[in-house]
Amino acid sequence: MPATIHDLLIVGGGINGAGIARDAAGRGLSVLLCEQGDLGGATSSASSKMIHGGLRYLEYHEFRLVAEALAEREVMLRIAPHLTRPLRFIMPHVPSLRPAWMIRLGLLLYDCLGRIGSLNRRVTLPGSASIDLTRPPIAQSLQEHYGQGFVYSDVAVDDARLTLANARAAFLLGAGIRPRSRFIGATRAHGLWQATLENADGTTVVRSRALVNAAGPWVAEVCAALPAGTGPRAKVQLVKGSHIVVPRLYPGEHAFILQNDDRRVIFLLPFEEKFTLIGTTDVRVEKPGDAGITADEVAYLCRAASRYTRTAVAAGDIVWRYSGVRPLFDDGQNDPSRVSRDYTFVLDQTDHVPALSIFGGKITTYRRLAEKALARLAPWFPHMGPSWTDHRPLPGGDFATLAELVETLQSRHPALPPAWLKSLARRHGTEAVRVIGDARSAADLGLNFGGGLYQREVEYFIEHEWAKSADDILWRRSKTGLLMTAAEQDEFHRWLQTT
């Protein structure tokens, strides 16, 4: 029988599990998080990478969700300034799809809900406006017949690194973080959970006072591995969404929200300096592991973007593609685009030993979800501290502006590659200093794998960010895979296997 008794065992190292782990550890609870694969390796690295209110959710009257999400934009800009950046979204006007008055009204509501949600806090994001699309640089992006449009603010985020930053914060606050450790099942015994975890070395048994099921698309499977009676009273709807990445389609730092003729919208985002991210789709799937972009989805995204862009998008342009499964709370809605993106909890307190299961949610609202999850568990932990995550920066987030941070790093390390220091600031914020360590010249960075990836940072990913495989490093800890040739990637795989 293991001696340690944790307060919380969290199943799932996506954004929700990691967010709850950080919040709980900071309130003084002892936390153990297990993740069957890589942290953020499932849905939380496959999003559209926006912290957004969700303009389109207004059409479905999701006012609570939109207001909460809008307020989180400013919070995330404050606590994770290295992983987020303000983004202006341009929506070309197409009268046959939605009348101008409807869009103006929607944007007015968006601005108002944003201000209400951020009461007593500084609002930095500019409000919405009408815009002339025939002026540069937008004129160079869109086909000539789009003359009028609208512009509003949201925020771009590095979803995978945001998840990692939460896991790392939790770890620094004392939480146990176990990636590649699968939750097999649990029973209640003597007022505690007794859970079996499995990793490459075999199985272990851990004990906890409460269990949090943050398994995302696998939430129902984890419920099924709990004692009978703990099963979900809510259901999950699995809706796949896919993205493609192509070389930069247009100049400028703005994003586009484009209305498609099926009344859905797709997004074009400037991505990793040299690329454009295009997404997404809504396809119902049966199993949590059913992620994988199909030729139909590729064709849909290329067609929807090419209706607007001056440069047509073709499948042959794609340099990267990814797909994820949304674990949506099943509200009985048939159209997958219309299923609510809000979250809900199911608390089972059989024998006063709680299991809290999470259904739905967004990257945007993970911090509020974590606060509410802990509020639901508060009766079991009367000595737990108050909410705190809205004002303490995530690891690396304690700086004023990114430009200043980059300048400081570059002036302190004149012999290190300036582009690498810039990427480092974006990925690690002030923790870049820990990555640099005692390196004084490019030779101190070890092997150069291409794409701006050096051995020194790889070792940091492995030592401090739980990275193991090449994919963990090339596509989640960094996006250097985008800039490496196939031969460089193969070489990196080989090097990692032999290290």
33 to 168, 317, 466: CA distances (angstroms): 12, 40, 13
229: left (phi over 0), alpha (psi -120 to 50) or beta: left
What pairs with residue 91 in β-bridges? 150
Q: Decide whether 14 or 451 has the Cβ nearer to ligand FAD.
A: 14
* Total residues interacting with ligand FAD, rule: CB under 6 A: 39
Q: Decide whether 16 or 489 has the Cβ nearer to ligand FAD.
A: 16
Read off the DSSP letter of residue 227. P
Q: Is 429 in the site for ligand FAD (CB under 6 A)?
A: no
- Nearest residue to 480 via CA among 431, 432, 430, 424: 424
Whole-angstrom Cα Rg for the chain: 23
Q: Decide whether 219 or 436 has the Cβ nearer to ligand FAD.
A: 219
**Interactions with ligand FAD, residue window 22-61 (CB under 6 A):** 34-37, 41-44, 46-50, 52
Q: Decide whether 103 or 257 has the Cβ nearer to ligand FAD.
A: 257
Length reported for the chain: 499
**Interactions with ligand FAD, residue window 168-187 (CB under 6 A):** 182-183
- d(C-alpha 149, C-alpha 262), whole Å: 19
- Nearest residue to 38 via CA among 165, 179, 178, 158: 179
Instruction: Tell me how far, at minimum, the Cβ of 111 lies from ligand FAD, in Å.
Output: 19
187 to 6, 46, 192, 193, 230: CA distances (angstroms): 15, 33, 8, 6, 10
> Per-residue x/- marks for ligand FAD, 252-281, CB under 6 A?
----------------------------x-
- d(C-alpha 237, C-alpha 252), whole Å: 37
Instruction: Tell me how far, at minimum, the Cβ of 246 lies from ligand FAD, in Å.
Output: 17
**Interactions with ligand FAD, residue window 5-24 (CB under 6 A):** 11-17
**Interactions with ligand FAD, residue window 276-335 (CB under 6 A):** 280, 324-327
How many Cβ atoms from other residues are within 10 Å of residue 370's Cβ? 27
Q: Decide whether 16 or 118 has the Cβ nearer to ligand FAD.
A: 16
Q: What's the maximum distance between 2 C-alpha atoms anywhere in the chain?
A: 71
Which one of 218, 300, 345, 466 is in contact with ligand FAD (CB under 6 A)?
218
In the block, residue with structure tokens 């193991």: 468
Instruction: Tell me how far, at minimum, the Cβ of 95 lies from ligand FAD, in Å.
Output: 27
Q: Decide whether 67 or 222 has the Cβ nearer to ligand FAD.
A: 222
- Nearest residue to 165 via CA among 421, 429, 401, 459: 429
Instruction: Tell me how far, at minimum, the Cβ of 244 lies from ligand FAD, in Å.
Output: 12
List alpha helices for 205-294, DSSP H: 219-224
Q: Which residue is nearest to ligand FAD (CB)?
A: 14
> Per-residue x/- marks for ligand FAD, 364-383, CB under 6 A?
x-------------------
Q: Decide whether 285 or 432 has the Cβ nearer to ligand FAD.
A: 285
> Per-residue x/- marks for ligand FAD, 230-249, CB under 6 A?
-----------x--------
Q: Are 477 and 161 in contact (CB under 8 A)?
A: yes
Three-state SS for 337?
coil
Structure tokens at 7: 């307060």
Which one of 26, 216, 397, 452 is in contact with ligand FAD (CB under 6 A)?
216
Which helix H or strand E contains 6, and what residues bound it?
Answer: strand 5-11
Q: Decide whether 87 or 214 has the Cβ nearer to ligand FAD.
A: 214
316 to 268, 320, 455, 479: CA distances (angstroms): 17, 11, 32, 20
Instruction: Tell me how far, at minimum, the Cβ of 230 lies from ligand FAD, in Å.
Output: 14
> Per-residue x/- marks for ligand FAD, 334-363, CB under 6 A?
---------------------------xxx
Instruction: Tell me how far, at minimum, the Cβ of 364 lies from ligand FAD, in Å.
Output: 3
Q: Decide whether 56 or 422 has the Cβ nearer to ligand FAD.
A: 56
Instruction: Tell me how far, at minimum, the Cβ of 263 lies from ligand FAD, in Å.
Output: 18
Is the backbone peptide bond immediately before 137 cis, with ω within 30 degrees of 0?
Answer: yes
Q: Decide whether 64 or 434 has the Cβ nearer to ligand FAD.
A: 64
CA 70-76-79 angle, to 5 degrees, is: 150
The site for ligand FAD (CB under 6 A) is made up of 11-17, 34-37, 41-44, 46-50, 52, 182-183, 214-218, 222, 241, 280, 324-327, 361-364
